[in-house]
Amino acid sequence: MRQRPERRKHRRLKRHFIVKFRIKSQTKPHKDKDEASAKWEMVTLQDLSAGGALFNYNEKIDVGTFIDFMIEFPLGEGDIQCVARVLRCNPIPARPLFGIAVIFAEISEEEAERINLFVEEIHLKHPDQFDD
């Protein structure tokens, strides 16, 4: 069996923790007036990198949909809020859930670097929680 070459640019942490998201738009990442009323949903991340994340959700979200994404770091290090775009939405067999893969579409370099440093710090302590 031939292996596909790894396409990821960033190390991916496979650790579960809670994040918040809310659906923005299927066509544009920028804020609209009506978005303030959108409800934040809490989900558990399956993995995280400086480029994106994977989480499970109980509803299908269309590919291309933009979402607000809030990552709450442990120990009061401050939250990161960015805009992500749905890349994949796959049903999870035998469960009423969908695996949602997102790429961070609007994130500052500083926030991406904070995620990267967090992931690298965990990698040093727990290398078993990564797909290397």
Q: What is the pLDDT of residues 89-102, one digit of tens each?
A: 999 999 999 999 99
Residue 11: pLDDT band with limits 50, 70, 90:
confident
Percentage of residues in the chain having pLDDT higher than 70: 75
Domains, the chain, ordered by start: 18-127 (2.40.10.220)
Residue 5: pLDDT band with limits 50, 70, 90:
very low
Percentage of residues in the chain having pLDDT higher than 90: 48
| CA angle, 116 then 85 then 81, to 5° | 50
Residue 67: pLDDT band with limits 50, 70, 90:
very high
Phi, psi of 99 (to 5 degrees): -85, 115
pLDDT top residue among 68 and 121: 68
* Cβ atoms of residues 130 and 12 within 8 Å: yes
Residue 125: pLDDT band with limits 50, 70, 90:
confident
Q: What is the mean pLDDT of the chain?
A: 82
Q: What is the 8-class DSSP label of residue 2?
A: P
Query: Does 31 have pLDDT greater than 70?
Result: no
- Three-state SS for 121? helix
Q: What is the pLDDT of residues 69-89, one digit of tens each?
A: 998 876 567 889 999 999 999
